[in-house]
Amino acid sequence: MSDSAPDIRRLFEPRGVAVVGASAQPGKIGHKILANILAGGYRGRTFPVNPRGGEVLGLPACKSVEEIDGPVDVAVLAIPVEKVHDAVVGCGKQGIPFLLVVTSGFSEVGNVAEERRILAAAREHGVRIVGPNIFGFYSGAAALNATFGPRDITPGNVAIITQSGALGVAMIGKTAVENIGLSAIVSVGNKADIDEADLLGYLAGHDGTKVIFMYVEGVKEGGKLVRALRAATAQKPVVVIKSGRSKRGAVAAASHTGSLAGSDEIFDDVMRQCHVLRAETVKEALSWCKLFAHVAPPSGDNAVIVTNGGGMGVLATDACEKYGVHLYDDHEELKRAFAPLMPSFGSARNPIDLTGEAGVEHYRGALDAALRNPAIHSAIGLYCETAVLDIVSCTPILAEAERAWRAGGKPLVFALFGGGRVAEQLDALRRTGASAFDEPYEAVQSLGALYRHRDWLRQPQGAAETVEVDAARIQAVADQARADGRRFLLAPEASAVLDAAGIPRPQTALARTLDEAVRSAEAIGFPVVLKVVSRDILHKSDVGGVALHLDDAGEVIDAYEAILHNCRARVPKAVIDGIEVCEMAAQGVETIVGARRDASVGPIVMFGLGGIYVEVLKDVAFRALPLGRGDAGAMLAQIRSYPLLLGVRGEKRKDTDAVQATILRVGAILQRCPDVSDIEVNPLVVYEQGKGARAVDARILLAEREGGKGHG
């Protein structure tokens, strides 16, 4: 947003709203939106706009936006696609800063040109657009329900940003039955202009919003989103569902939104880096939001499980381990606190097993004692259907306990398992606002999300590290390749880039004659490696263009001639720039460090176990730029083969500092040199602690430019 861009607060708290396309006909979308605004109790003035004039839903209609008399900050456009452009211009001239373009028929159906045209008109007139192709917008701060979804939206403190309109409408209904109150729901549709990142800025600072939930299909400006997420999660939890996980889902999402879904693994890693809670299902996401909305993260680690069924207790115990929930284990204290409150053959060890004999008073007593115990910070209440304890009599006790826990600032979640009566009571319990599930794993997972957010708040995201690279020198290399009509760098050019970035590599020299090759090899010291350098040969080994382990001048002479012979025979038209003579790197752990510009999350770095294994093991970690040393360290720790770097079977620890430094430097190349699009150092050979790491091979690509190769 430029400095002159309107304040996004006006979108959420508009002084007046116009509905362009407000129709008197009840079946029309423009009618429904106006009706919802009026029914929702919006506090500002509302102006229906319809060329017929007259009255719509009791309000006088303006024949055009120009007739509006009074400040309007938001106009909802519910008119056919071919009329939107002129309406955008009209609103712009009227000084309306935000437009909600409900109309479909733009880029989502391939009509990219019209979407660009309305965007250009909006830019020209200083107007910002939400949409097009949206179901509208709800802002609790203004009591404004400008959607054509359900009329009743439960106010509260969960904000939803959704790329899918239909899912958004359905979520309004779902949140209402689950007693999840909303502070805002924004349908972003095709995201021609305003996107999730713009909205996050407002919602992160909005006092009435405790948690933000985003449903994302495709991301257009990844770097911007990552920055906004990092800033938002430092203030409040953000839960994200990114659809298009499966290859099939990605295709469906792409055709739905007109934007491509990026690779799921990368997205997952980057969300973790941004401290975003990624949910797999809408149900999961809404459960987490409900809990976040009602209670702050626990002040300590200790959880207790209260159950009337041993099996349920064991399942919940397993789930606690899986989702990082620590079970209180001071057995003396547990016995002292709970033994007097349970049937004689119950167990006060955690899980606190009230047994099948348990009655409502046992539940009440145990949950109350846990709430009052300062050493206990959260609880999981479990119920298994039994003949002894009827769920109908138990539900009010559980609801009462949950209210007390919420008032006491401690989280309490439930899982109730059984037949039809239990399912009914579960719904009733949920409607009271309790976080209640039919599965102990789901209950513990929600509690785990709360703990994860708390842990993230305690470990703020590391500051980005500034690493100096000689960007001018790298650009000069890139210019040279471009002048030569190439987007890829030849080996000596890639070496020059590594040098400019301060990344250690084996010594190399380019030989154009046999004599030069021998002299270079002697200067570097044996053993050496020879590699062909040719813009026409990318896969050197495949054509016999590489010779390893050359121990003396005689072997260099033979290899030099063999390489030239092989290349001429297999790629007769190849222009050969020379033969590179390289120091033969000593053996170490082969890793890979890469960087590229990802469609979904912007510029990223990658680290993994390298060499020939990378394709098979796919043991890699990704992070978005900018990057701190802590992020680089976390990448190393994340890969499964991390123990190889720590030293296995009596080997010494490897130089992980050198690996981290390389990751930061490779990232810095991408950040400082917009012309570089892909870097892959493979292998980066890592030696023992203190002995560094060396980039044995590097592939570097330049960014694609519109209009093709060359200078551009």
Interaction between residue 20 and ligand COA (CB under 6 A): yes
Residues 6+ apart with CB under 8 A from 167: 215, 282
Interaction between residue 257 and ligand COA (CB under 6 A): no
Stretch touching ligand COA by CB under 6 A, among 16-24, 178-186, 589-597, 657-665: 16-24
Q: How far is the CB of 359 from ligand COA (least distance, A)?
A: 50
Q: Which is nearer to ligand COA, 18 or 511 (CB)?
A: 18
Amino acid at position 198, single letter: D
For the record, the structure tokens of 325 come out as: 């929930």
Member of 133, 183, 287, 307 binding ligand COA (CB under 6 A)? 133
Q: How far is the CB of 20 from ligand COA (least distance, A)?
A: 5
Quick note: the x/- pattern for ligand COA over 186-205, rule CB under 6 A, is -x------------------
Q: How far is the CB of 24 from ligand COA (least distance, A)?
A: 6
The terminus-to-terminus CA distance of the chain in angstroms comes to 27
Q: Closest Cα partner for 595 from 684, 664, 656?
A: 664
Interaction between residue 179 and ligand COA (CB under 6 A): no
Member of 165, 237, 365, 667 binding ligand COA (CB under 6 A)? 165
Give the Cβ contact number of residue 569 at 10 Å. Answer: 10
Q: How far is the CB of 209 from ligand COA (least distance, A)?
A: 22
According to DSSP, residue 309 is labeled: -
Cα(44)–Cα(143) distance, integer angstroms: 9
Cα(218)–Cα(46) distance, integer angstroms: 34
Q: Which is nearer to ligand COA, 162 or 445 (CB)?
A: 162
Q: Which is nearer to ligand COA, 84 or 285 (CB)?
A: 84
For the record, the structure tokens of 665 come out as: 């430097």
User: Do residues 532 and 538 touch, judged by C-beta distance below 8 A?
Assistant: no
Q: How many chain residues interact with ligand COA (CB under 6 A)?
A: 27
Alpha carbon 439 to chain centroid distance?
27
Cβ contacts of 83-86, under 8 Å, gap ≥ 24: 84/114, 84/118, 84/132, 85/114, 85/117, 85/118, 85/121
Interaction between residue 60 and ligand COA (CB under 6 A): no
Interaction between residue 111 and ligand COA (CB under 6 A): no
Member of 102, 180, 496, 533 binding ligand COA (CB under 6 A)? 102
**What is the enclosing helix (H) or strand (E) of 158?**
strand 155-162
Q: Which is nearer to ligand COA, 49 or 354 (CB)?
A: 49
Member of 17, 33, 34, 49 binding ligand COA (CB under 6 A)? 49
Query: Under rule CB under 6 A, which residues in 426-445 are in contact with ligand COA?
Result: none
Quick note: the x/- pattern for ligand COA over 64-93, rule CB under 6 A, is --------------xxxx-x---x------
User: Do residues 195 and 130 touch, judged by C-beta distance below 8 A?
Assistant: no
Q: Which is nearer to ligand COA, 83 or 596 (CB)?
A: 83
Stretch touching ligand COA by CB under 6 A, among 19-27, 213-221, 342-350, 409-417: 19-27
Cα angle at 574 between 568 and 575, to 5 degrees?
110
Query: Strand pairing partners for 100?
Result: 76, 130
Interaction between residue 610 and ligand COA (CB under 6 A): no
Stretch touching ligand COA by CB under 6 A, among 133-141, 277-285, 441-449, 658-666: 133-141
Q: Which is nearer to ligand COA, 107 or 534 (CB)?
A: 107
Q: Closest Cα partner for 33 from 106, 171, 125, 134?
A: 134
Relative orientation angle of helices 360-372 and 331-338, to the nearest 10 degrees: 130
Interaction between residue 162 and ligand COA (CB under 6 A): no
SS3 track for 186-251: EECCCCCCCCHHHHHHHHHHCCCCCEEEEEECCCCCHHHHHHHHHHHHCCCCEEEEECCCCHHHHH
Tell me the backbone φ, ψ of residue 609, rounded to 5 degrees.
Answer: -75, 130
Cα(282)–Cα(103) distance, integer angstroms: 26
SS3 392: helix
Stretch touching ligand COA by CB under 6 A, among 15-23, 171-179, 206-214, 243-251: 15-23
Interaction between residue 28 and ligand COA (CB under 6 A): yes
Amino acid at position 414, single letter: F
Q: Which is nearer to ligand COA, 162 or 302 (CB)?
A: 162
Q: How far is the CB of 169 from ligand COA (least distance, A)?
A: 7
Q: Closest Cα partner for 230 from 277, 276, 293, 198?
A: 276
Interaction between residue 326 and ligand COA (CB under 6 A): no
According to DSSP, residue 381 is labeled: E
Interaction between residue 103 and ligand COA (CB under 6 A): yes
Stretch touching ligand COA by CB under 6 A, among 26-34, 220-228, 351-359, 701-709: 26-34
Stretch touching ligand COA by CB under 6 A, among 49-57, 265-273, 619-627, 659-667: 49-57
Interaction between residue 118 and ligand COA (CB under 6 A): no
Residues 6+ apart with CB under 8 A from 87: 20, 65, 75, 77, 79
Residue nearest to ligand COA (CB): 165
Interaction between residue 62 and ligand COA (CB under 6 A): no
Interaction between residue 21 and ligand COA (CB under 6 A): yes
Stretch touching ligand COA by CB under 6 A, among 130-138, 305-313, 649-657, 692-700: 130-138
Stretch touching ligand COA by CB under 6 A, among 48-56, 208-216, 470-478, 603-611: 48-56
Q: How far is the CB of 87 from ligand COA (least distance, A)?
A: 5
Amino acid at position 481, single letter: A
Q: How far is the CB of 262 from ligand COA (least distance, A)?
A: 23
Residues 6+ apart with CB under 8 A from 52: 61, 63
Q: Which is nearer to ligand COA, 102 or 496 (CB)?
A: 102
375 to each of 174, 241, 300, 331, 337, how far by Cα in Å? 36, 35, 8, 12, 11
Q: Closest Cα partner for 599 from 254, 276, 120?
A: 254
List of residues contacting ligand COA (CB under 6 A): 20-21, 23-25, 28-30, 49-52, 78-81, 83, 87, 102-105, 133-135, 165, 187
